Amino acid sequence: MSVIRSSIKMAIATFCSRILGLVREQVMAAYFGASGVTDAFLVAYRIPNLLRDLFAEGAFSSAFVPTFVEANQESQNESRELLWALFWMLFFITGTICLATMIFAPELISLFAPAFIKDPEKFQITVNLTRIMAPFLTFVSLAALFMGALNSLKIFFVPALAPASYNVMSILSMIGLSGVLHKMGYHPIYSLGIGAMLGGFMQAIVQLPLIWRKGFKPLWPKKFWTPRSTKVFKLLGPGLIGFAATQVNLLITTILATPIIGATSWLNYSFRLFQLPVGILSVSIGNSNLVHFSEAWKKKDIAGAKASLQQSYYLSFLTVMPALVILFCLSEEIVNLIFERGRFSRESTLMTAEALRMYALGLPFYGIYKIWVPTFYALDRQKIPVLASVFSIAFNIAFCLLLTPFFGFKILALGTTLSVLVNSAFQSWVLKKDLNLSWGFFFSKRIFKVVGATLGSAIIAETLLKVDFLSQPLLVKCLYLGLQILAIATLYLTFLLLMGERSAVNALLEKISKKLKRK
C-alpha cells in the first residue's frame, strides 16, 4: 500500500497545481483566445518546454533518483555531495543552452514554425518570447533536481505542489502586466513569457527550505565528476532521446498545425485538459513507483520490486479509465464551460473538443509510459526507451504527414495518441522478457474488469446522460457538468463492484478519504 499512499499524496498536491493550471488557461483564453498571437506564444514555449522534459521532469529525474537512493543508503554526506555537484553542473549546462537559445532564437523559430516567416510581426513576437522564456529551462531543471531528492526521501506533497507557483505567477503576470505592457507600447502577450520565466524561478525556490531542513544545505562539492555523478550523466545520455518521444511528437504537430490559424491553440488547450488526469494520476503513480521499485531493486528484493510494479500498473488503469470516459464523452461540455468566454469562440470550442477526444483515447497508454520509462532506468536498461522513441516518432511522422491533408488537424492529436501506444507496447514487450513476466501480469482478470467497467459507463454516458448543455446559463452548466461527472464516476465504481473489485474500490476510497481529512 506504500505506492498507493505516496501516489495519493502526490495526486492531491498535483490536483491543486493542475486546477491552477486550468485557471491559467482560462485567463489566457479570455485575454488572447485561439488567435495567431496565442499560437506565437505556444510555439515559443515549446522550445524550452521540450528541453525541460529532457533535463528536468523526464530523463534527468529518472537517472538521478535511483543513483541518489543508492548514495543515501551509504551515507547522507555522499548523497549531499551528489545533489550539489549535480546542481552546479545542471546550472552551467542549462545556462549555456539558455544563452544559445537567446542568440539563435530566429533560426529556431524558422525551423519549428516555418509558416510564421510569412508574417513578420508574428515571427518577431515569437522570437522575443523565446528569448524571454529561455531561463525557464535552468529554473525548472533545478526544481526537478530538488523534487527528485525530496521524493527519494519519501517527501511527496510539497514537491508535487511546487509547480503551482508557476501557474500563480503566470496568472498574476497576465492580469497585472498586460495593461502595463500595452501602455508602454509592447504587445500584452509578453506578459505570458514573463510569467513563465518567473514561475520557473519560484518552482525551484519554494523547495529549497525543505532541502535545507533535511540536512542537505548548499555546498561547493569537493569533486564534480565522481563515479555517481558520472553515472547519472551516462544514464542521461540515451535518455535525452528516450524521453523526447512525447515532446517531439508535439513538436511535429506544431510544425504541421502552424499553417492553420488557431490550430496550434486548439491542440494546446485540448492537451492541457488531457494533462489534468495525466499529471494528477499517471505522473504521481509513475514517480511513486520509481522510488519504491528502485529501493526494492537496489536491495535485491526482486519479488518486492515486481509487486510494486504490478500495483502501479493496475492502479494506473484503475484511476485513468474513468477520466478517459469523462474527457471523451463530455469533451464539448468541458471545453465550453472552461474556455468559451472573451475571445474564445464557439468554433474554438468545437475544434478543441475534437482534439480532446483524440487525446483522451491515449490516457491508459500515457499511464503505462509514465511507469515503464523510469522502471527501465532503475534496471540500468535506459536504451530501451530510446528504441521505443525511435519507433514511435517515426510512426507519428508518417501517420500525420499521410493523413492530415485528408482529415484535418485532429489527426495530429490522434497521431500523438497512437505513437504513445506504439511506445508503451514496445516497452511492455521488452519488460516482459527482462523481468520474466507472464502475460497475466499485463492482461489479468482485474484489468479486463476495469476495461469492462469503462465500456459500460461510456455507453450509458453517451446514450442516457446527454442534455441540452451549450445553451444553458453558467450556473446551470456547472450543475449539469458536475452531475454528469458524478454519474460517470458512480457508474464506473458500480460496475467494478458488481464484477468483484470491492476490495480495490474500498481501499482506494478509504485512502483518498483519510488524505482529504488530513488536508
Whether residue 22 is contained in a domain is answered as no
Lowest mean pLDDT among 357-361, 423-427, 470-474: 470-474
Whether pLDDT at 455 is above 80: yes
Looking at per-residue confidence, does 21 or 388 come out higher? 388
Give the C-alpha separation, 470 to 353, whole Å.
Answer: 13
- 297-317 average pLDDT score: 83
- pLDDT tens column, 240-287: 665 555 556 666 667 787 777 778 888 888 988 888 887 666 666 766
In this structure, are 167 and 144 located in the same domain?
Answer: yes
Q: What is the pLDDT of residue 287?
A: 64
Q: Kindly report the number of other CB atoms within 10 A of residue 140's CB atom.
A: 29
CB atoms within 10 A of CB 458: 20
Long-range contacts, 432-437 (Cβ 8 Å, 24+): 434/379, 434/381, 435/306, 435/309, 437/306
Q: Identify the CA nearest to 376 among candidates 336, 435, 420, 451.
A: 435
Residue 25 located in a structural domain? no
The domain of 147 spans 33-242
Is 258 found in the same domain as 235? no
What per-residue confidence (pLDDT) applies to 487? 93
Q: Are residues 139 and 250 in the same domain?
A: no
- Between 96 and 113, the more confident residue is 96
Higher pLDDT, 95 or 409: 95
d(CA 465, CA 471) in angstroms, rounded, equals 16
3-state secondary structure of 250: helix
Distances (CA, A) of 115 to 40, 75, 216, 307, 449: 11, 54, 48, 50, 47
DSSP for 294-321, please give it. HHHHHTT-HHHHHHHHHHHHHHHHHHHH
Identify the domain boundary among 211, 242, 273.
242
DSSP string, 158-181: HHHHTTHHHHHHHHHHHHHHHHHH
- Asked if residue 480 and residue 337 are part of one domain, the reply reads yes
Tally of structural domains, the chain: 2
Encode pLDDT of 167-181 as tens digits.
Answer: 899 999 999 999 899
Residues 389-414: pLDDT tens digits?
Answer: 888 888 988 898 899 888 888 898 99
Least confident range of 37-41, 205-209, 376-380 = 376-380
What Å distances lie between residue 361 and 194, 372, 420, 445, CA to CA?
34, 19, 11, 21
pLDDT in tens, 185-197: 899 999 999 999 9
Please report whether residue 284 resides in a domain.
yes
Q: Say whether both 287 and 346 belong to one domain.
A: yes
Cα 57–Cα 63–Cα 68 angle in degrees, nearest 5: 105
Nearest in space to 295 (alpha carbons), one of 25, 71, 10: 71
Shared-domain flag, residues 179 and 289: no
Segment of 52-56, 225-229, 435-439 carrying the highest mean pLDDT: 435-439
Residues 42 and 7 in one domain: no
**Contact assessment for residue 348 and residue 340, using Cβ atoms and an 8 Å cutoff:** yes
Task: Give the integer Cα–Cα distance in Å for 302 and 433.
Answer: 15
pLDDT at 516 exceeding the cut of 60: no
- Of 218, 242, 266, which one is at a domain's C-terminal end? 242
- pLDDT digits 0-9 by tens, 117-156: 888 999 999 999 999 999 998 998 888 888 888 878 877 7
Query: How much is the pLDDT for 1?
Result: 47
**Residue 83 scores a pLDDT above 60:** yes
Q: Could you tell me if residue 27 is inside a domain?
A: no
Question: Which residues 6+ apart lie within 8 Å of 403 measured at CB?
Answer: 411, 415
Mean pLDDT of the chain: 83
